[in-house]
Chain A
């Protein structure tokens, strides 16, 4: 299985901050990466697919980049509703695996 290593595991931030989360794959996965947001007690929500494509309806403050083994999710200006846990997911080789998650907390 491909291992997806996310960092940091948590980040404390304030509204308006720029937040960057990284994910490293254990092997080259081209651009087969997705990012999800999960709030407590809720199902994950797809934000980004194919490393940098914004899912329909997702605010443009979310962006993704990267290819190969290194990927980044950026929130350009953190909003109150963005405090949540974020997961990366590889879609190159099944079983698709997820990163361990990054919790974005209030500073």
Chain B
């Protein structure tokens, strides 16, 4: 059973870049036909799919975030990453990493709350 764990700063200042890491245990980010996703949820609100990276390194980004977003992978550490620049209060959310096929997220991390505030 794969386990995913998000890590990163809980507090980011406006205009700064958020960097999050998803550590993957019990599965390889470079094998199989899996898609490794980032999904976020503002406090008390619904879910937004940020983007994903495929096991071959290909990526797909939400157009609303594309200009600020980079998703990458480090196969040697079995991690994948999110970088989101020019953070504003609207980016305050619980950020989840997840694994799935092309269309769903089967396995999720516990989530990490990121607050944007000076």
Residues of chain A having any CB pair with chain B under 8 Å: 32, 34, 42-46, 49, 55, 87, 89, 91-92, 94-101
Contacts and interface: CB of A to CB of B under 8 A. Distances in A.
Nearest to B109: A43
11 contacts: A34-B104, A44-B108, A46-B100, A49-B103, A89-B47, A94-B60, A95-B51, A96-B103, A98-B49, A100-B46, A101-B46
A10 to B, nearest CB: 14
A98 B106 contact: no
Interface in B7-64: 46-49, 51, 60, 62-64
Contacts of B60: 94
A34 B103 contact: yes
Nearest to B94: A43
A97 B50 CA distance: 10
Given A43-B108, A89-B49, A95-B48, 8 more contacts: A34-B104, A43-B109, A44-B105, A46-B104, A87-B46, A91-B103, A94-B49, A96-B103
Interface core residue of A43, A44, A49, A89 (most chain B CB under 10 Å):
A43
Q: Lowest 7 CB-CB distances: which A-B pairs, in order?
A: A91-B103, A43-B108, A95-B62, A98-B47, A34-B104, A96-B49, A49-B104
A99 B46 contact: yes
Interface of B: 46-49, 51, 60, 62-64, 96, 98, 100, 102-106, 108-111
Nearest to A4: B46
Contact of B49 (A95, A99, A100): A95
A50 B88 CA distance: 35
B98 to A, nearest CB: 8
A94 B102 CA distance: 10
Contacts of A91: 102-104
A42 to B, nearest CB: 8
A87 B63 contact: no
Given A97-B49, A99-B46, A89 B104 contact: yes
